[in-house]
Structure 1
Amino acid sequence: MTVIDILKDLIAFPSVVGTPNGAIVDGIRGILEGAGVRVRVLPGPEGDRYNLFATIGPAMVPGYVLSGHMDVVPATEPEWTSDPFRMRADGDRLFGRGTSDMKGFIAAALAALPALTAAPLARPIHLAFTYDEEAGCQGAPHLLPHLPDLCAPPLGVIVGEPSGLRAVRAHKGKAAARLTVRGRSGHSSRPDQGLNAIHAMADALTAAVAQADRLTQGPLDSVFEPPYSSLQVGTIQGGLAVNIIPDACTAEFEARAIAGIDPVTLLEPVREAAERLEERGFAVDWTQTGAYPALFLAARSPLARLLEELTGQEPLAAVSYGTEAGLYQTAGIDAIICGPGDIARAHRPNEHILVEELNACQSMIEALGQRCRL
């Protein structure tokens, strides 16, 4: 099968984040086992979602991991001009949800199987495909503890997020949390008899805005845009009608941290403000909904030099979006970003990838395979 054929099949699996993914896992496993590759399917605690790990070559020799996520964001935008889960070709452009982010990379890795399996590898190439990355990297933490049983400590991980096939050495970390404040309902004419949850939420919102302002002052790292950590309120819901005291209000907060800072700590002033509401009779529910660490790989690390040789381009210092690469680095494994497509096309209607981008990625993976025969 060609890389285009494989991508077409992958796009047809509507593997939306937060939903069961057994169908796409079975589809990928079938391709791998058909090529004689050893596959392990690892269930997550949800019971209906799975990570997949496969090895080409000697598992207990240090090698390289090609990492990608199988889930995609929803495709409910009305601007789609075709079915987002049926790949459509228009000249050199291939349209469909996940073409760039990031089933294109998975398709290129699977298309490279004949070249990778044509002769024995001295160093292995592993494929690590995860679930629910789009929900804050929920699947990868359930894969990483299994690595010591699956393979020797890897020399490096290539995370195939869309980067224009130019390697990237760093990205910010992220933490997200949901806060629900519960008060007491009543008629708006008697505010003395109720507890207004939206008014109470204002304390947490004020703390978030103040923290966001403080973060602009530093610490600073010029490789990032912007060069400081950030915090924002992303959503807020509450109330039923203007003449009813709202008894519940929910808001979601997100922090992004430059390398060296734990993004979870950036949310602490908001959480502390929320907890103080309990002293006024409100019930508070603070739930961390996702977190992953920043990535920072040294410019002259062996993995960065390898990707520069494989791509013919010097790696970029940093990007603004996040990936699973920081999780691998935190686990003690060097990681770098390098994949086909453009992040600007991701999470948008009419997402697409170019045929030449897929072919170039497949060639890069095949070149890595040649290195692993030396």
Structure 2
Amino acid sequence: MNVVQILERLVRFPSVVGTPNGAIVDWIRAYLESHSVEVRVLPGPEGDRANLFATLGPRDRPGYILSGHMDVVPAGEAEWRSDPFTLRAEGDALQGRGTSDMKGFLAAVLASVPAVLAGPLDRPLHLAFSYDEEAGCRGAPHLIARLPELCAPPLGAIIGEPSGMRGVRAHKGKAAARIRIEGRAGHSSRPDQGINAIHLMAEVLARAVETARALEKGPQDPTFEPPYASMQIGTIRGGQALNIVPDLCVADLEARAIPGIPPRTLLEPVHAVVCSLAERGVKATWETLSDYPALSLPADAPLARLVEKLTGEPPLAAVSYGTEAGLYQNAGVPSIICGPGNIARAHKPNEFIRMDELTSCQAFIEALGGDLLAGS
């Protein structure tokens, strides 16, 4: 199968984040096993989703990981010009949900397998495909925790998020939480008989705004725009009508951290307010939605130099989006981003990847495989 045929099959699976992914996992496993590749399917704690790990070459020697996620964001936008889960060619553009983010990378990896296996590999190339990345990198930590039993300590991980096949050395980390406050409904003419959940949430919001302003004056890293850590309340929901005391308010909060700052610590001042409300008898809960660290790879790191050699361009210093790369780095695996497509196309109607981007990525992976051959 060529790269377009593989991409067509991958796009056909509606592997939307937060849903069972057995069908796409089974297809990838069957494809790899047809090439005599050793495959491990690693079920997650959810019970209906799994990561996949496969090794080309000797797994008892240090090699490289190619990391990608199998899930995609939903595709319910009315602006789609065709079925988002059917690959459609429009000129040189191949449209479909996940083509850029990031089934195009997965397709290029899988299409490269025969060529990589054609030579006697002295060091391995590992394929690490995760689930629920779009929900805050929820699947990858379970896979990474099992690396010691799956392979020798890796030399590095290449995360194939869309970067125009340009290496990227850094991104911010992120932590997100959902705050839920329950009050008691009543008529607005008798507020003394109700408990206003929105009023209680105002204490939480005030601390979030105060913290966000303080972060602007905190530690700076000029690699990023903006150069400081940030915080925002992204959504807030509550109330039924103007004359009803609201009995429920829910807010989603996120913080983005520059390297060197654990993202979850940025949320602690807000979490403290929620805990204070609970101690005062308020039904206030805190749910962590995501938590992944920043990425920071030195410009002179061997992995950065390798990617520069294979792409012909020096890696970019940083990007604004987050990836699983920080999780691998946190586990002691040097990591970098490099993948086909453009992040500006992701999560949008008529998402696409160009044919030349796919072939460029496939050539990159096959060249990486050539670096792992005996005698290279």
Q: Could you say which residue in structure 2 is the equivalent of 1:357?
A: 357
Distance (Å, rounded) in 2 between the aligned partners of 1:208 and 1:75: 32
Task: Tell me if 1:56 matches 2:65.
Answer: no
Give 1:209's aligned residue: 209
Q: Which amino acid aligns with 1:334?
A: P
Q: How does 1:148-297 map to 2 (within 5 A)?
A: 148-297=148-297
1: CA distance, partners of 2:129 / 2:217: 38
Q: Which amino acid aligns with 1:292?
A: Y
Q: Which residue of 2 aligns with 1:86?
A: 86
What are the equivalent positions in structure 2 for 1:136-147 lying under 5 Å apart? 136-147=136-147
Amino acid at match of 1:92: D
| Greater alpha carbon shift after TM alignment, 76-85 vs 127-136 | 76-85
Aligned equivalents of 1:37, 1:61: Cα separation in 2 = 16
In the alignment, the residues of structure 1 paired with residue 279 and residue 354 of structure 2 have an alpha-carbon distance, to the nearest angstrom, of 57
Alpha-carbon distance in structure 2 between the residues aligned to 1:274 and 1:146: 34
- Could you give the per-residue CA deviations for residues 301-356 of structure 1, whole angstroms, max 9, x where no partner exists? 00000000000000001000000000000000100000000000001111100000
Spell out, residue by residue over 1:133-191, the C-alpha distance to the aligned partner (whole angstroms, 9 max, x if none): 00000001111121111110000000000000000000000000000011111111100
For 2:262 and 2:64, locate their aligned partners in 1 and report how far apart those are by CA, in whole Å.
Answer: 27
Q: Secondary structure at the match of 2:66?
A: strand
The one-letter code sitting in structure 2 at the alignment partner of 1:249 is C
Superposed displacement of residue 275, structure 1: 2.1
CA distance in 1, matches of 2:25, 2:38: 14
Q: Give, in whole Å, the separation in 2 of the partners of 1:11 and 1:247.
A: 43
Cross-structure match for 2:129: 129
| One-letter amino acid matched to 1:310 | L
* Residue type at the aligned position of 1:151: C
| Unpaired runs of at least 5, structure 2 | none
- Counterpart in the other structure of 1:310: 310
Question: Take 2:12 and 2:279, find their aligned partners in 1: how far apart are those partners?
Answer: 52
In structure 1, give the amino acid aligned to 2:208: A
Contact 1:195 1:282 in 2 (8 A): no
Distance 1:218 1:169 in 2: 23
For 1:250, what is the secondary structure of its paired residue? strand
Check if 1:40 corresponds to 2:77.
no
Deviation at 1:280, TM superposition (A): 4.6
For 1:252, give the aligned amino acid.
D
1:323 and 1:27 map into 2 onto residues whose CA distance is 24
Structure 2 match to 1:6: 6
* Structure 1 gap segments, 5+ residues each: none
Q: Higher mean Cα deviation, 329-338 or 276-285?
A: 276-285
Moved more, 315-324 or 236-245: 236-245
Following superposition, the deviation at residue 252 of structure 1 comes to 0.3
One-letter identity of the residue aligned with 2:354: L
Q: Aligned residue pairs: how many? A: 374
Partner of 2:25: 25
The answer for the alignment partner of 1:100 in structure 2 is 100
Following superposition, the deviation at residue 29 of structure 1 comes to 0.7
Post-superposition Cα deviations, 1:71-100, rounded to whole Å, max 9, x if no partner, equal 000111111111110010011100000000
- AA partner of residue 187 (structure 2): H
User: Distance between the aligned counterparts of 2:149 and 2:277, measured in 1?
Assistant: 47
Residue of structure 1 equivalent to 2:341: 341
Alpha-carbon distance, 1:218 to partner: 2.3
> How far is the alpha carbon of 1:289 from its aligned partner?
1.0
Q: How many Å separate the matches in 2 of 1:145 and 1:296?
A: 20
TM-score calculated relative to the size of structure 1 = 0.99
Post-superposition CA distance 1:224-272 (Å, at most 9, x none): 1111111011111111222111111000000000000011011111111
% identity of equivalent residues: 67
**Is the 8 Å Cα contact of residues 71 and 133 (structure 1) preserved in structure 2?**
yes
Work out the CA distance in 2 between the residues paired with 1:48 and 1:279.
37
Counterpart Cα distance in 1 of 2:27 and 2:344: 28
